[in-house]
Amino acid sequence: MGAKAASEPWVGRPLLRLEDEALLRGEGRFVDDLDPVANARHAAVLRSPFAHANIRRLDPTPALDLPGVVGVLTGADVVELSRPFPAGIDSPTPHYAAAHEVTRYVGEPVAVVVARDRYVAEDALELVDVQYEPLEPVLDAEVAVSSEACASDRSFHYGDVDSALARADLVVRERFRSARWSCTPVECYGVVADWSEAERSLTAWANFQGPFTLHSVAAGALGLPGSKLRLLTPPDSGGSFGIKSAVFAYVVLMGLASRKLGVPVRWIEDRLEHLAASSSSSGRLTHVEAGFTSAGELLALRYDAIEDVGAYVRAPEPATLYRMHGSLAGAYRVQNVAARNRVVLTNTMPSGLNRGFGGPQLYLALERTMTIAANRLGLDPADLRRRNLIRAADFPYRTPSGALYDSGDYGSCLDDALTLAQYDERRAEAEAARAEGRLVGVGMACVVEPSISNMGYITLAEPGEERGLPKSGNAEGCTIAISALGGITVHTATTPQGQGHRTVIAQVVADRLAVEPSDVDVLTEVDTATSPWTIASGNYSSRFSGVGVGAAAAAAERLSEKITAIRAHLGDGSASLRRIAGTVHWNPEALPPGMEPGLAVTAYYAAPNLLPPDADDKVASSGAHGFVADVAVVEVDRDTGEVTVLDYVTVHDAGRLLNPLLAEGQVRGGLAHGVGAALFERHVYDEDGNLLTGSFMDYLAPTAPDLPEPRIAHRESPSPFLPLGAKGLGEGTTMSVPAAIANAIADALGRDDVEPPFTPGRVWELLRQ
């Protein structure tokens, strides 16, 4: 970028990514580039071909005879050497890193073969003698909910929903279904595990993304204190979008293989394994009851959600149900809100972190309901929303379920979106097109985008008396060290997966130390033995721009204060950073009396207001809340069911934008995942529980040419609670797009029973009914 005026901060500028040159030169260091320990042997995982089966026999002996095979770890070994994974709620079935005696989803690990290379390991997989006795699988969450497969049933009441519904002029009662979809990063999971028998410790390299709560989960399963599970992440990651959080289960599995077989073990997951058995979003069926006055005021909202988390409640699940808990009312002022949350197990892959995490599911139900209500009341959907939006003067605003919305001007954002979309003209054109027999529709969605998850919200899944010690907050650490020659090195534990954390941290630190961003080296590899991490560290809930940056800013400010004090003490106001650094390192006697030597600071920062859930089950589930208002215009081909997005407008208020270029990347990326969920992506199991979408031939993720070109605008209402006023914005469009497109399609087709993903085949089935 060009020179900047001396007074102009680096933060807020569209600085090109500092990461990109290495990536473009092929110098990125991803997990499969690491060769951190000599003589690692290669693992392949034997996986269940049945959704539910007894394992009658598992005999690895024939595989052991193949030349090149080191050994086999079986489910029985796993049960002997480890403990079940702890999760947010007690699960009816213990979850180990591999199945023993019973398999519960297609793709579940039942054994690990370790060999001199992956080819031999895969050959040996075919030689393991396994005899299964298939059992009836449970695949339908609605059936599972009335059985022992219902793992949790909690109800929440805020205000008085019953009496508000009783006085409503209109009660909308509808059900909405969110499919299970994936994140499809370019890079799949990878683990290198090295057990030390002498130290009774595991060192593992994995493309893990946090939250580091899962480090504790893995250590617990291994029966190790956290200090004995040294987990390292590579500096680069080929994307995650949440899904790589669940690699922790394979850290345990490969750690056990290394322990049993006495060799370092390397496992790089392939795409078939990834699609079938890594993780996916939860599936959700939501019954909504919503009461409105005839003028369109939303009086009460009741949700009844059945959450399909797959075969096991794998940490941090059932967090998908609770991540949005403070935002159950979305962007609206309604005070009467109730929710019943039931978590069910099915014989499908376990769910987990996935971009949007609970937002797409919640807003499909809420935002479809708002549009349905408007139509039934004869109101414009935009007018109905505007009537109910939280007003700019209301901030900071406490929601009925406990969130503290920090800042915003929702009405103005909505107006911006309507103006940019030429909403009234588009609505008139769509109506005219429909009169001619075309199927054109306009839809919208208004969503509150929470960021920086409160680590305590998950305890809501248990009743108050069973919650154990209180949990809260969301802290992140950062270390900045300045060398004797003035070089600045930052160590962050935010585990970036392509978002550009190095660039933004360099901007933040450069402003505070009066240097250029290119003078700041940011190390993104995490080592739990040496990095400044907390249990909340990692890359999830769009927390970087709040707490990742907050920790970097705090460390930089403390260093800056120290430098300023030394400079004053030296009596040389123009002393260069290099001169100061040289003095600290080479001549500590010259420091001000009593000053700690050294020129390095480790700082921790936690977003404020994130208390544990209270006795009334209210929780500030997130530290910051942005806003997104979208307008979608679609046309449906009557003959083929094909959906074309004619226009997509998305207006964001994520507080202060730290780097507008990266912000645009996040909005576009979030939109891509939202369009995937709206138009393309869905995991499908057949009646026996076989995954029908097990390769990219059948699991269709949109590619760049398949995406609409969005028109993006921003407002900036800085968060008063966060050091730079910046909120997360990586997930908003993932939350808004499925709802906005569903509303547009409902408008085009003139019916309410529409359910994403709107693939041509599914849309055509609607048309022929």
Partner 1 sequence: MKPTQFDYVRPDSLDEALSALAETDDAKVLAGGQSLVPALNMRLLRPSTLVDINRVPELDNVTRGSTSSLVVGARVRQSDPRLNAHLVLAAVLPHVGHTVTRNRGTVCGSIAHADTAAELPLALLACDGTAVVASARGRREISAEELFLGPYTTALARDELLVESVWPELREGDGFAFEEFAQRGGDYALCMVAARVRGTELRVVVGAVAPVPTVLTVDADSPGESAVAQVEPWGSVHGSPEYFRQLVRVLVDRTVVRAKEQAA
Provide the binding-site residues for partner 1, judged by CB under 8 A: 118-119, 122-123, 270-272, 639-642, 680, 684, 692-693, 697-698, 700, 702-703, 705-706, 759-761, 764-765, 768
Nearer to partner 1, 605 or 685 (CB): 685
Nearer to partner 1, 596 or 639 (CB): 639
CB 94 within 8 A of CB 19: no
Quick one: CA torsion of 736, 739, 745, 750, rounded to 10 degrees?
A: -140
Nearer to partner 1, 122 or 297 (CB): 122
> Minimum Å distance from CB 652 to partner 1?
27
> Minimum Å distance from CB 482 to partner 1?
46
> Minimum Å distance from CB 303 to partner 1?
30
> Minimum Å distance from CB 703 to partner 1?
6
For β-strands 520-523 and 397-398, DSSP reports them as: unpaired
Nearer to partner 1, 25 or 768 (CB): 768
Q: Residue 406 and residue 452: Cα distance in Å, rounded?
A: 12
> Minimum Å distance from CB 166 to partner 1?
43
> Minimum Å distance from CB 139 to partner 1?
15
Q: Residue 500 and residue 665: Cα distance in Å, rounded?
A: 10
Q: Residue 222 and residue 258: Cα distance in Å, rounded?
A: 12
Nearer to partner 1, 271 or 558 (CB): 271
Angstrom CA distances, 578 to 326, 398, 521, stand at 48, 48, 15
Nearer to partner 1, 604 or 764 (CB): 764
Nearer to partner 1, 77 or 123 (CB): 123
Nearer to partner 1, 48 or 327 (CB): 48
Q: Residue 439 and residue 235: Cα distance in Å, rounded?
A: 48
Nearer to partner 1, 550 or 641 (CB): 641
> Minimum Å distance from CB 246 to partner 1?
20
Could you tell me which residues come within 8 angstroms of residue 250 by beta carbon, excluding any fewer than 6 positions away? 97, 189, 191, 206, 267, 269
Q: Sort residue 268 into left (φ over 0), alpha (ψ -120 to 50) or beta.
A: beta
> Minimum Å distance from CB 739 to partner 1?
22
CB 114 within 8 A of CB 77: no
CB 742 within 8 A of CB 754: yes
> Minimum Å distance from CB 43 to partner 1?
12
Q: Residue 42 and residue 306: Cα distance in Å, rounded?
A: 40
Nearer to partner 1, 187 or 317 (CB): 187
Nearer to partner 1, 128 or 577 (CB): 128
Could you tell me which residues come within 8 angstroms of residue 301 by beta carbon, excluding any fewer than 6 positions away? 161, 288, 289, 290, 328, 329, 334, 336, 337, 338, 366, 369
Q: Residue 69 and residue 63: Cα distance in Å, rounded?
A: 7
CB 253 within 8 A of CB 549: no
Closest by CA to 331, choosing from 366, 361, 383, 300, is 366
Continuous segment of H or E residues that includes residue 648 = strand 643-653
Q: Sort residue 32 into left (φ over 0), alpha (ψ -120 to 50) or beta.
A: alpha
DSSP 244: G
> Which ranges constitute the DSSP H helices of 676-730?
none
Nearer to partner 1, 100 or 762 (CB): 762
> Minimum Å distance from CB 116 to partner 1?
13
> Minimum Å distance from CB 14 to partner 1?
30
> If you search the block for the tokens 């967090």, which residue do you land on?
319
**675's tokens:** 């369009």
- φ, ψ (nearest 5 deg) of residue 676: -55, -50
211 cis-preceded (ω within 30 degrees of 0): yes
> Minimum Å distance from CB 121 to partner 1?
8
Count of C-beta atoms within a 10 Å radius of residue 479: 20
Task: List 291's β-bridge partners, or say none.
Answer: 171, 300
> Minimum Å distance from CB 718 to partner 1?
40
Nearer to partner 1, 188 or 478 (CB): 188
Q: Residue 196 and residue 182: Cα distance in Å, rounded?
A: 35
> Minimum Å distance from CB 66 to partner 1?
11
Q: What is the 3-state secondary structure (H, E, C) of 193-232?
A: EEEECCCCEEEEEECCCCCCHHHHHHHHHHCCCHHHEEEE
Nearer to partner 1, 578 or 762 (CB): 762
Nearer to partner 1, 318 or 641 (CB): 641
> Minimum Å distance from CB 28 to partner 1?
20
> Minimum Å distance from CB 686 to partner 1?
9
Cα-Cα end-to-end distance for the chain: 57
Nearer to partner 1, 139 or 315 (CB): 139
Q: Residue 7 and residue 225: Cα distance in Å, rounded?
A: 49
Nearer to partner 1, 586 or 696 (CB): 696
Nearer to partner 1, 394 or 686 (CB): 686
Q: Residue 78 and residue 60: Cα distance in Å, rounded?
A: 14
> Minimum Å distance from CB 548 to partner 1?
35
> Minimum Å distance from CB 765 to partner 1?
7
For β-strands 265-268 and 190-196, DSSP reports them as: antiparallel
Q: Residue 85 and residue 767: Cα distance in Å, rounded?
A: 46
Q: Residue 100 and residue 294: Cα distance in Å, rounded?
A: 58
Closest by CA to 578, choosing from 508, 482, 490, is 482
User: In sequence order, what DSSP letters do the residues of 280-306 get, joined into one string?
Assistant: -PPEEEEEEEEEE-TT--EEEEEEEEE
